[in-house]
Amino acid sequence: MSTTSSGKSPASSGLEGVVVANTEMSDVDGQIGRLTVRGYDIEELAGRATFEEVTYLLWHGTLPTAEQLAQFGRELASYRQLPDETVAAIELAAKRMGPMDALRFAVASLTADDKDSDDDSREANLTRATMLVARVPVIIANYQRLRSGERPIAPHNDLGVAANYLYGLTGKEPQASEVRGLDTYLVTVADHGMNASTFTARVIGSTASDMVSAVTGAIGALKGPLHGGAPGPALTMIEEIGTPDRAEAWMKDALAKGKRIMGFGHRVYKVRDPRAEVLYQAAVELADETDEREALELAKAVEEAGVKVLQEAKPGRNLNTNVEFYTALLLRELGLSPDLFSPTFGIGRTAGWAAHILEHRAGGRIIRPQSEYVGPRDLHYVPVAER
């Protein structure tokens, strides 16, 4: 490997190709379109395992037994009651902030009722991880109701994470098909290699800071539109196209005007994102239950037109459908507004963030990369009166 004049390895833009950690959490093979989570292909888990099962798998390395799953569900339910400080933060955020700012603001307050904040054992951090996974959906649901002029609904402790989130948003127990669809989504996004927000969580966790701080920082990274903000614009694009027969012409016109085609292309995947297929199948199952197939047929036509037009316009770029494309459709069919898509992503990814923090704290060093200075040298101070 070549080095710079200082003997360091040359900088890699965006850390492209740089391995920053050994992990047992997940592996992303972009060449063949394969996502492995703790040894399981994502297709083995999504649509079959619940979000609680996959969260347990990420934290413990094995899928839970029926008894372990039931106990984990009870533990999650026991942490859904929010501290007064977080309730106050949500009430303020609902008046002044957008959803991602509100989520970051409220999550930062979740140390308020941590009675053992000095305990840095794995057991204590597992408790904090459980608290975060339990409370993030409640925060989002309460915020949504408050900004809509409605009062928050107390959690339904007989429901799992996905079902309770939908219940908290609407006040109605969701249909099994809706719960299955959201569970599939949360499983699909729970962990995905060393993405920007996960790396942020590991960096903060590596300093021996607390888990709430690390997850708060990860939410800040997720807020960026280059990481977690694409599902909403993808839905806007599909709705603007309107009918299948307009898809190809719309795509060509958008490219001619220099617009970005949302929901296509990925930093890692050079083929179709495997999560796109999983979410498409979840959308199909939901449409079969609701008999709302028109939107699904439109999305499929837009996908086919997008792949074709992008291949013709940008050959060799391999701009295939990514996870955001069918995320938009599925979450809309579940009744979520587009500005809740990224916070809902955060519900699923909280499990992965916590897993990486736990993993790094078990033996990793503080993450402290180097940089190569490229600025001027040998400058001399000139007193302010002489400048």
Q: Which tokens hold the place of 378?
A: 């040998």
Cβ contact 333:290 at 8 Å: yes
Active-site hit among 52, 178, 266, 360: 266
Averaged pLDDT, 201-218: 97
Which architecture characterizes domain 231-333 according to CATH? Answer: Orthogonal Bundle (1.10)
Give start-end residues of each CATH 1.10.580.10 domain in the chain. Answer: 26-224+345-361
Q: pLDDT per residue over 332-346, tens digit each?
A: 889 999 899 999 999
As a CATH number, domain 26-224+345-361 is 1.10.580.10
Sequence letter at residue 366: I
- Residue 365 predicted with pLDDT over 60: yes
pLDDT score, position 186: 97
* Sign for the pseudo-dihedral over CA of 329, 332, 338, 343: negative
pLDDT score, position 6: 57
Averaged pLDDT, 158-181: 96
The residue count for the chain: 387
Alpha-carbon distance of 363 to 60, in angstroms, equals 16
Based on the residue annotation, tell me whether 266 is a catalytic residue of this protein: yes
Higher pLDDT, residue 262 or 122: 122
Local confidence band at 7 (pLDDT 50, 70, 90 cut-offs): low
- Residue 323 predicted with pLDDT over 90: no
Active-site hit among 52, 53, 324, 333: 324
Higher pLDDT, residue 10 or 235: 235
Alpha-carbon distance of 194 to 367, in angstroms, equals 13
Helix (H) or strand (E) holding 221: helix 211-223
pLDDT score, position 44: 95
Based on the residue annotation, tell me whether 53 is a catalytic residue of this protein: no
Sequence-distant (≥ 6) Cβ neighbours of residue 27 within 8 angstroms: 34, 35, 36, 193
Alpha helices in the chain (DSSP H): 42-45, 51-60, 66-78, 84-96, 99-107, 122-147, 161-170, 176-189, 196-206, 211-223, 231-241, 247-256, 274-290, 294-313, 323-333, 341-361
Q: What is the mean pLDDT of the chain?
A: 90
Q: Which tokens hold the place of 367?
A: 């993450």
What is the distance, to the nearest Å, from the Cα of residue 206 to the centroid of all Cα atoms in its chain?
21
Q: pLDDT per residue over 273-313, tens digit each?
A: 788 888 888 888 888 877 677 888 888 888 888 888 888 88
Give start-end residues of each CATH 1.10.230.10 domain in the chain. Answer: 231-333
pLDDT score, position 315: 86
pLDDT score, position 68: 98
Q: pLDDT per residue over 43-66, tens digit each?
A: 999 999 999 999 999 999 999 999
**In the 8-state DSSP scheme, what is residue 363?**
T
Residue with tokens 């050079």: 270
